[in-house]
Structure formats: C-alpha cells, structure tokens
Amino acid sequence: MINGQFVPFHIKDMQPTTVQQHSSLPQSHRSYEKDLVVVLDMDECLIHSQFLDPSQSAMYAYQMRNKHSVESNVDSFRVSLDTDQGEQVHVHLRPGLLEFLERITTRYETHIFTAAMDVYANPVLDHLSSLISDSDIFAGRWYRDTCTFSETHQMFVKDLSKLPVSLNKTVLVDNNPVSFLPQPENGIWVNSFFTDSNDATLQAVEE
C-alpha cells in the first residue's frame, strides 16, 4: 500500500536495500537466506476456521464475515481448544499453504501476527508447524493483546513497531486493509480466503 493505494507486490519485491541488525527473536539462532522479516496474518489470510459452536467464533477468533458455503475440497484439520468447553475448530487451509510456509520460513524470518486469542491460535499454529517441521517454524507469535484497537474503525490494527523487528525490512501480509494503518507502506494486501479450492493467492504473493 503506497500513498493510500493498494499496489500488487510480491514478497521478493520488498527485499530491503540495507542490512540492519535487530533484537529479539525466539529463534535468533536460526539463519535465513534473505535479510527480510515476513509477518503473516492468520485468519482469512492463511486459513479459515469454522467453529463447531459458531457462538464461540467471535470470542476466540477474529474473522471476516463469510457469505459463502463452507463446503470445500481444500485440505483441513480439526483442533480442540484448551478451554473448559474444549471447543472444536475445523480449520481450512488456503491452497498451497504448507508449501508456502516451508519456503517462506526457510528464506525469511517469519512471524505470525493475529487478532485472534492465543488459546485458539496456538493449537492451530502448532499443528501447521508440526506438518512441516519437528520444531516451531515461526520466529514469533503475536496475538490480540499485541494489536491496537481502533475506535474509529472499530477494528484491530497491527502496529509493527510493537514487534522486535526493523520496520525498514519488514512486510505484513494481511487480508484486512485496516491492519496496515500504522505502517501502510509495509503492507501486502491479499484477498480473504474462506474455502475456495482454486485460490492461488499465496503463490502470487511469493512469486
């Protein structure tokens, strides 16, 4: 997003021109192919979750309204939340997600920044990570308590300055344009995913 306009970028187009060190990383011992930090949204960007008890969705997740059918041929899995009710969540994977994550997390320091609650996001991310590696593939996970609530928009925004990253070499991939308000120049906008088995967004973002 530049000067308030959405511009189609690929991740490789956003590589920084200078190399700077930054602090913090839960996985600082890892080395990456490129000196770029990729921050990924979760709901409707990487996956779409269907709570078996729909009344629990707003409490734990932060999802766009889905006007489409949830029937789909995309890959999926089910997780149980560690809560008193043990809510069941059916998670639909955006096509090409596992391959995308495997490549991105190898090439770039990769964080998840979601407006969802950690009690829901963590088992989803744990399962995704386990499908790719024996260890956590994400350098950091950030949840609703790290987001900033915009009274004007009545939505959560994502201030990248709250993360232990250098802004001049960090990109945020998100389906919600409001997320980019604090740093619009760092945003890569993608369309929302629900259950479209023909979706090719992740491939376009990477290439």
41 is catalytic: yes
Closest CA to 81 of 59, 64, 63: 59
Cβ 120 vs Cβ 61: under 8 Å: yes
Q: Which of 13, 43, 75, 118 is catalytic?
A: 43
Q: Which of 35, 41, 126, 196 is catalytic?
A: 41
84 is catalytic: no
Cβ 45 vs Cβ 175: under 8 Å: yes
Helices 118-130 and 97-107, interaxial angle, to 10°? Answer: 90
Cβ 178 vs Cβ 153: under 8 Å: yes
Report how far residue 148's alpha carbon sits from residue 105's, in angstroms, rounded to the nearest whole number: 26
Catalytic residue annotation: 41, 43
